[in-house]
Homo-oligomer: A and B are copies of this chain.
Amino acid sequence: MIFSEQDLTALFVTLKLAGLSTIILLLIGTPIAWWLSRSRWRFKFFIEALVALPLVLPPTVLGFYLLLALGPNGPIGGLMDSLGWQPLAFTFTGLVIGSVFYSMPFVVQPLQNAFSNISNRSLEVAATLGASPLDRFFSVAVPMAKPGFITASVLGFAHTLGEFGVVLMIGGNIPGSTQVVSIAIYDHVEALQYSQAHWLSAGLLMLSFVMLLIVYGVNRRFSGAQK
């Protein structure tokens, strides 16, 4: 067996984290992107800049600030504490929140672009055919923005897989709960266990490549049938 039990656990945690984060990213990012693409508010560009901002901080530093915020003395942690809730730092839930926060720009931006490219005409046609705004969104905007959703999901998922700094900071690298593959590889490298690092990296690459192939391949066949 090339992979230790701990590595496999980390892999499992990673997939769970990436999958869950991607779903949440899409759920939160889609309405934001839709609003950004359709709004004519003068100060929209302010929000656009804000969405891209988490990108510019190194992940470890971002993680550090998230840690401060989530910690018992931080605003979020304090609030949760006073409500009698469990603190989020060093829990899987905390990781999901951190990943969502950090990967948001990668999901919002492709979606916003895809939505911007949908002509008003198509939405108007749908309206005259009796489709409510929500119906229009799901029956016209979403299918037309499909390439945007694929890009958003791939970037969001892959980025969470490779995500590292934030998770390291607010997760605490606790095996079985917050230790993800990227950290496990990093640990192997740090501990000079290069061959384990190689195997784990190769495994992660293979797995990701196969997943990406499936996503793009299925998409290709689907679009191909249309043309």
A: residues with CB less than 8 A from B are 44-46, 48-50, 52-53, 55-62, 64-65, 105-106, 109-110, 112-114, 116-117, 147-148, 151, 154-155, 158-159, 161-165, 182-183, 185-186, 189, 197, 201, 204-205, 208-209, 212-213, 215-217, 219-220
Contact = CB atoms under 8 A, between A and B. Distances in A.
Question: How many chain copies does the complex carry?
Answer: 2
Contacts of A189: 60-61, 64
A136 to B, nearest CB: 19
B164 A48 contact: no
B45 A213 contact: yes
B58 A164 contact: yes
Nearest to A42: B220
B161 A164 contact: no
B58 A159 contact: no
Given A110-B109, A220-B45, A182 B212 contact: no
A182 B59 CA distance: 9
A159 to B, nearest CB: 6
A185 B61 contact: yes
Contacts of A109: 110, 151, 154-155
Given A48-B216, A109-B154, 16 more contacts: A44-B220, A45-B219, A45-B220, A46-B213, A53-B205, A55-B161, A56-B158, A56-B162, A58-B186, A61-B182, A61-B185, A64-B197, A105-B155, A113-B113, A116-B147, A164-B165
